[in-house]
Amino acid sequence: MFAESRLPPPLHTLLVDDEPAARAALRELLERDPELELVGECASGREALRALQQAPVDLLLLDVGLPDLDGFELLREAGPGAAAAVLFVTGSDAHALHAFDVGALHYLLKPLDAEQLARGVARAKERVRALRVQQLARQLGALYGGSAAPGGPEGLGAPATQGYLQRLALKETGRVTLLPVEEVDWVEADDYYVQVHAGGRSYLLRQSLRALEGQLDPRRFLRIHRSTLVNVARVRELQPLFHGEYWVVLQDGSHLKLSRSYRERLDALLAGREPQSPTGRSPLR
């Protein structure tokens, strides 16, 4: 028997515009794309807010000038999880910069043609596919995170204990790579994401630095700056700078800045002592 061909699930799409003629024109264009499923149409901001609160969507096509609640107010009240991708479709370019500030993928001007909409929808599809892969990565990470790590001595660079992540699930060119945490060199904050550096390569992970830090063994990974987390086993030396700050030099030659407020915790780990959680600025020795 031949395997059944399965298409990816369509993008659930919500259309929000107070002009009936504009909604009809957009509906006609959207219905030509088999990868989109139009799940609703709204003529006001409040109506759209109720719809998004009941069921978040993959793609939101949104006008700015809506009665009772404009497009920006709608996004603010609905929250970041209401729509994976937002395309503004409006009659004026006056709000373009603001649209990109709130995370819109595209700002399309009326009257709209099929080619313009197709470009915006293509970007939305890429965004949604990436988010679906990242969701799968998190599920795989949760599935494999509790497996046993190789044995080794306790203390600096010791294997992660139960309850801490032992592998990171990372998206890489359409694949999901399971990276053992001991292979991570350092991690840096990148807006709402983090860049994971390992073996000369960099991977983007959709997670905040604070959230990731809480899932990693504190005997192995330590914050040395508000935007930097380091694998202590990768530290080669410390080079003094000014005002109590240091360069942390890794085995691969990377230079990372150590802030004063994090110095004592790093000293404790390097000396084999249990680090204390900072309660403020640590005194300098």
pLDDT tens, position by position, 201-210 = 888 888 899 9
Mean pLDDT of the chain: 79
Please enumerate, as own/partner, the contacts of 43-47 that have beta carbons within 8 Å and a separation of 24 or more. 43/16, 43/17, 43/18, 43/67, 44/18, 44/68, 44/69, 45/16, 45/69, 45/70, 45/71, 45/73, 45/74
- Report the percentage of the chain scoring pLDDT > 90: 32
- Across the range 207-215, mean pLDDT stands at 90
- CA atoms of 52 and 42, how far apart (whole Å): 11
- Across the range 173-200, mean pLDDT stands at 85
258 versus 18: the higher-pLDDT residue is 18
- CA atoms of 270 and 235, how far apart (whole Å): 9
- CA atoms of 262 and 186, how far apart (whole Å): 15
Q: What is the pLDDT of residue 7?
A: 56
**Burial bucket for residue 200 (CB in 10 Å: 0-12, 13-18, 19+):** exposed
- Tell the CATH superfamily of the 11-130 domain: Response regulator (3.40.50.2300)
Q: What is the pLDDT of residue 31?
A: 92
What tokens were used for 244?
Answer: 């109590």
267 versus 223: the higher-pLDDT residue is 223
Q: What is the pLDDT of residue 187?
A: 96
- CA atoms of 133 and 170, how far apart (whole Å): 9
Lowest mean pLDDT among 71-85, 116-130, 234-248: 234-248
- Across the range 44-71, mean pLDDT stands at 93
Q: What is the pLDDT of residue 190?
A: 86
Q: What is the pLDDT of residue 137?
A: 57
| Assigned CATH topology for domain 164-270 | OB fold (Dihydrolipoamide Acetyltransferase, E2P) (2.40.50)
pTM comes to: 0.51
User: Do residues 232 and 221 touch, judged by C-beta distance below 8 A?
Assistant: yes
Q: What is the pLDDT of residue 39?
A: 96
Q: What is the pLDDT of residue 63?
A: 93
Does residue 183 carry a pLDDT above 70?
yes
What tokens were used for 92?
Answer: 């004026």
Q: What is the pLDDT of residue 266?
A: 66
What tokens were used for 13?
Answer: 């799409």
pLDDT tens, position by position, 114-142 = 888 998 898 888 888 877 766 665 655 55
pLDDT tens, position by position, 16-35 = 999 999 999 999 999 999 99
pLDDT tens, position by position, 142-156 = 554 443 333 333 333
Does residue 261 carry a pLDDT above 80?
no
Confidence of residue 195 (pLDDT cuts 50, 70, 90): very high
DSSP track, 132-146? HHHHHHHHHHHHHTT
Confidence of residue 270 (pLDDT cuts 50, 70, 90): low
Does residue 283 carry a pLDDT above 50?
no
User: Do residues 250 and 186 touch, judged by C-beta distance below 8 A?
Assistant: yes
CA angle 16-21-26, nearest 5°? 55
State the span(s) of the chain assigned CATH 2.40.50.1020.
Answer: 164-270
- CA atoms of 21 and 123, how far apart (whole Å): 25
Q: Which of 101-105, 180-184, 281-285 ranks highest by mean pLDDT?
A: 180-184
Q: What is the DSSP letter of 274?
A: P
- Alpha-carbon 92 to chain mean position: 31
| DSSP H/E element including 237 | strand 235-240
- Across the range 90-94, mean pLDDT stands at 80
